Amino acid sequence: MTARSDDPSGYTTKAGAAAIGARLRRLSERIDRDAARLYAESGVAFEQRWFGVVNLLSLYETLTVGELAAALGVSHATVSQVRAGLEGANLIAWDADKANPRQRRLRLTPAGRDAAARLAPLWAALSEAAVELNDEAQDALAALDRLEQATLRLSLYDRVKARLAQG
């Protein structure tokens, strides 16, 4: 533990690498908040967390939850949560997979295709702004790639357990 300071402001910045999770969440929340403002101004009811699923369904027409999870690098449960939100907004529907009736093949509804078409210019601008931010941050994506690879080599959980075992 670090010594207590009289001023807790800027705690996560002062904590350095120990607060990496908090700083990544803070940055993600800031990006999502800005995107939410842009979606609201566009007049399309849309959540930033829906983008990957909608974009992939725009490109591939139908995909299973498992295929979406693999493509996005997230859990099946995460995609299922997004699916539920998109279904509630009437942006996607599903059919049983012909080859495996236990699986659902998700697809955009007409309203989903319309929303994707209306949001395409905003998504292009968001992508351009992200490239600009990455350039300004001197290739933050490369650092995130290295961080992700390091956690894949040995998870934070395993690193902490090893330290605790050392006593």
Overall average pLDDT of the 3-12 stretch? 60
Q: pLDDT confidence of 28, banded at 50, 70, 90?
A: very high
Task: Return the pLDDT at 5.
Answer: 57
Cα gap 76→136, rounded to integer Å: 34
Contact 26, 12 (CB under 8 A): yes
- Annotated domain spans of the chain: 18-136
What are 108-117's pLDDT values in tens digits? Answer: 999 999 999 9
Q: Structurally, what CATH architecture does the domain formed by 18-136 represent?
A: Orthogonal Bundle (1.10)
What is the overall mean pLDDT for the chain? 91
Residue 102: per-residue pLDDT: 87
β-partners of residue 106 are 63, 94
Query: Could you tell me if 76 and 65 are in contact, meaning their C-beta atoms sit under 8 angstroms apart?
Result: yes
Closest among 88, 33, 87 to 65, alpha carbons compared: 87
